[in-house]
Amino acid sequence: MSEIDLQGVHDTLVSIAFEAGRMILAADPNNIPQGIKKNTVDLVTEADQAVERMVYSRLCTDYPNCEFVGEETYVAGETRVTDAPTFIVDPIDGTTNFVHGYPHACISLGFAVCRKSVVGVVYNPFLDILYTGIQGKGSYMQRSAAQTTPNQKQRLPLAGRGDAQAAPALQGLGKALVGVEWGSDRQGNNFDVKVGVFQRLAAAKNAAFSEQPTPPTAMVHSLRSLGSAALNFCAVAAGQMDCYWEGGCYAWDVCAGWCILSEAGGFVASGNPGDWDPALDSRLYLAVRGAPSGGKELVEEFWSVIGDSGKMVYEH
């Protein structure tokens, strides 16, 4: 395939995001037909499916030679993210919020080449906030879909006014606002690891534990859950969260946000200790905001709180 015009991909994805936003807002909040997938907290609505059909049909028309991976058409064990240019799409990320009328849900549209995210578009129609990123061209937040002139877009990270080197220094977990999510696995090893890490992140430095030796604690400023992996990634890209730790979500939850974060000077390590270069579909992520120091020390500190025995295991 000849070289792909990433600006053209971006423009197409922004247009699709706004169309999806209109569809999502058209749903009657008092009557959202819904079903369950893996269990009673893993929800799908008619809007998720209708938006994915629209996205697929538009991308097939405009980019017939690219691959497509979407949450609602994914088949476990069959659908793979390959090296081919691929659109990786979550029609509604934050479906639980959508069902409850909690206004943090978005469409997440990513484009990956050789399994690396090179374009990301995330649009929250409830708050009318658009996040975008293109490899090598920076990432942006735009407060209204109606505002399209360049000077109405704010380059990320916000605190560094678009320059990660000018962003405030990271000051360790003890001064960090940390994104986490419960996810939809509510029993077993992965759930136990999450609950333990949440506790140690929040606990006072001298908190008493029955475990011996006492595991490291962090006493972070606080934990936050936006209920959407894509929006958590964008909050880290913007510098509103210092990092976001996740296990269990999929490539469509993170692909768009990954490009937006990288272009804001941040990076993604694995949610399990030891891997600095996790795959797009590894299902384990620790996203860190842009900062003058680069942020590796925050990852090391986070991994020490997880500890050696706390690895999560997910099928790819």
Active site residues: 71, 90, 92-93, 95, 253
Binding mask 74-93 for ligand IPD (x = CB under 6 A): ----------------x--x
Nearest distance from C-beta of residue 4 to ligand IPD, angstroms: 26
Q: Which is nearer to Ca ion, 71 or 263 (CB)?
A: 71
Nearest CA to 116 out of 86, 76, 151 is that of 86
CA 116 to CA 102: how far, in whole Å?
Answer: 31
What token pair was written down for 236? 């880290």
183 contributes a contact to ligand IPD by CB under 6 A: yes
CA 212 to CA 52: how far, in whole Å?
Answer: 49
The C-alpha angle with vertex 198 and arms to 282 and 158, in degrees rounded to 5, equals: 70
Q: Which is nearer to Ca ion, 91 or 215 (CB)?
A: 91
Segments in 222-274 forming alpha helices (H)? 229-238, 251-263
Q: Which is nearer to ligand IPD, 95 or 132 (CB)?
A: 95
> In this chain, which of 21, 70, 94, 196 binds ligand IPD, going by CB under 6 A?
94
* Sequence-separated (6 or more) residues with CB below 8 Å from residue 18: 123, 145
52 contributes a contact to ligand IPD by CB under 6 A: no
> In this chain, which of 52, 253, 263, 281 binds ligand IPD, going by CB under 6 A?
253
281 contributes a contact to ligand IPD by CB under 6 A: no
Nearest distance from C-beta of residue 137 to ligand IPD, angstroms: 26
Question: What burial letters (b/e) apply to 230-255, b meaning 16+ CB within 10 Å?
Answer: bbbbbbbbbbbbbbbbbbbbbbbbbb
Residues that bind Ca ion (CB under 5 A): 71, 90, 92
Q: Which residues bind ligand IPD (CB under 6 A)?
A: 71, 90, 93-96, 181, 183-184, 227-229, 248-249, 253
